[in-house]
Amino acid sequence: MKPAALEVLRMSRICRMVLATCLGSFVLVIFYFQSMLHPVMRRNPFGMDICCRKGSRSPLQELYNPTQLELSNTAILHQIRRDQVTDTCRVNSVSSRKRRVLTPNDLKHLVVDEDHEMIYCYVPKVACTNWKRVMMVLTGRGKYSDPMEIPANEAHVSSNLKTLNQYSIPEINHRLKNYMKFLFVREPFERLVSAYRNKFTQKYNTSFHKRYGTKIVRRQRKNATQEALRKGDDVKFEEFVAYLIDPHTQKEEPFNEHWQTVYSLCHPCHIHYDLIGKYETLEEDSNYILQLAGVGSYLKFPTYAKSTRTTDEMTTEFFQNISSEHQTQLEFQKSSILQPPYNICPNLRTFSDRFTKPTTLQQKSQPQAKCFQKSIDPWCFNCSLLHFSGSRASTRRAQSEK
């Protein structure tokens, strides 16, 4: 009897295991078909349920073929900016004999967000720290929530973000054609002052003092003390400007990215940028981009501490001691330092005039203002539209909508 009873128990145990396996498989099949019929839901960084990216409209589609039939004022403004850059690049491409093809190494400032199909070209001293923080939230897949919780030094760790130069040539061209590309620009002299204040007046930036400060003091200061030559921590703004316009500077080595030109960092005449934000309208432009990416309802661009910004008034003060000759050299000898829409008319205006706003309509119509509008835009000097032009389909769509 005992062997028979044991056999019955063994068969019963096997039956239960088979039944449990069947039930488990049945449940898995049900979940599989549910996931195929309904979009997978995930939690966004701030705890709101949102649908996965797959199957939704890309930022590029939302920009050029918006869901709303009537274009917003913001969309029209960005179309005007695109047209301005395109026209300027076309003019200078025709007039210039210098042609250049980009290589992957030229794309190391273009940060890629695969999840939202966006490419951001970061320009130091144009809110790039906060934009890198935002990109880390967008690409972190839940690792980060609030951009301002990310330390500034962590935002600049290269391994935290993927750049376009890390892809193969076919992958680069695919992303340039199909992803929404954007960058931010800033009044160039204000950007120079911001770079100077950050890198040469802060005691903690000893690496910049050693590498650049000592070089600037040695070249530009007569009768420099041994301590100044050794530390390089007391560079004057006038010396910094003299260093930038010195022909030997760029022959010796390329400009540091903090005062390198936007044209050299982002190549706007080679790459078709879909959105060009301005530092003066930073929050509005940034939140418009996040809206196009489909995350504007829960992710906002961080607000700035106004007290720490380099303002136009501050910039004017710094340039009061810079001669008109040196200002002109900054504007023309290194003309690609400038970028639209910051055209100038140097024959009629010095830097201190740049921030003096006309007070009457009559003043606005003076020849000075006319020259301001017609001055050659040097952002795209020696431009070429040969390779890595990106998003040609986007350009055609934009032109068809005019």
Give the pLDDT confidence of 258-307 residue by residue, as tens digits: 999 898 999 999 999 999 999 999 999 999 999 999 999 989 999 876 66
Residue 392 CA to residue 400 CA, distance in Å, equals: 12
Crossing angle for the helix pair 282-292 and 128-139, to the nearest 10 degrees: 20
Does residue 155 share a domain with residue 237? no
**Does 362 map to a domain?**
no
CB 162 within 8 A of CB 132: no
**Does 224 map to a domain?**
yes
As a whole-number percent, the residues of the chain with pLDDT over 70 amount to 66
Measured torsion, CA atoms of residues 166, 168, 174, 177, in degrees rounded to the nearest 10: 60
The position carrying tokens 């301001």 is: 372
Lowest mean pLDDT among 34-48, 120-134, 195-209: 34-48
Residue 345 has pLDDT above 70, yes or no: no
Tokens of 74: 């913001």
Does residue 167 share a domain with residue 287? yes
**Does 235 map to a domain?**
yes
Does residue 193 share a domain with residue 287? no
Give Cβ neighbours of residue 388 (< 8 Å, ≥ 6 apart). Answer: 101, 102, 107, 172, 173, 176, 267, 270, 271
Residue 108 banded pLDDT, cuts 50, 70, 90: very high
Q: Which of 294, 322, 340 is where one domain is finished?
A: 340
**Does 13 map to a domain?**
no
Q: Which of 285, 320, 340 is where one domain is finished?
A: 340
Does residue 174 share a domain with residue 125? yes
Q: What is the pLDDT of residue 225?
A: 95
Query: How many residues can be counted in the chain?
Result: 402
CB 183 within 8 A of CB 135: no
**Does 371 map to a domain?**
no
Does residue 223 share a domain with residue 132? no
**Does 266 map to a domain?**
yes
Residue 365 has pLDDT above 70, yes or no: no
- pLDDT digits 0-9 by tens, 57-85: 899 999 998 887 677 889 999 999 999 99
Average pLDDT, the chain: 76
Residue 365's CB is within 10 A of a number of other CB atoms, namely 11
Mark 140-155 as b/e (b = at least 16 C-beta within 10 Å).
eeeebeebeebeeeeb
- Helix (H) or strand (E) segment spanning residue 183: strand 180-185
Q: Which of 340, 361, 391 is where one domain is finished?
A: 340
Give Cβ neighbours of residue 297 (< 8 Å, ≥ 6 apart). Answer: 48
Does residue 132 share a domain with residue 217? no
Does residue 109 share a domain with residue 166? yes
**Does 356 map to a domain?**
no
Question: Residue 397: what residue type?
Answer: R
**Does 40 map to a domain?**
no
Crossing angle for the helix pair 73-95 and 282-292, to the nearest 10 degrees: 100
The total number of structural domains in the chain stands at 2
Compute the radius of gyration of the chain from its Cα atoms.
Answer: 28
Tokens of 226: 């041994």
Average pLDDT value for residue range 9-25: 67
What is the DSSP code (8-state) at residue 73?
H
Does residue 108 share a domain with residue 181? yes
Terminal Cα-to-Cα distance of the chain (whole angstroms): 93
Residue 210 banded pLDDT, cuts 50, 70, 90: very high
Does residue 108 share a domain with residue 225? no
Q: What is the pLDDT of residue 325?
A: 85
Does residue 197 share a domain with residue 119? no
Does residue 209 share a domain with residue 169? no
Residue 28 banded pLDDT, cuts 50, 70, 90: low
- pLDDT digits 0-9 by tens, 158-196: 999 999 999 999 999 999 999 999 999 999 999 999 999
Residue 337 banded pLDDT, cuts 50, 70, 90: very low
The model's pTM is 0.72
Tokens of 339: 């970028």
Note down the domain range covering 211: 188-245+310-340
Identify which has the larger pLDDT, 103 or 365: 103
**How is the beta sheet containing 275-278 ordered, strand by strand?**
110-113, 118-121, 180-185, 275-278
- pLDDT digits 0-9 by tens, 310-333: 988 999 999 998 988 888 888 754
Does residue 79 share a domain with residue 197? no
Tokens of 76: 């029209």
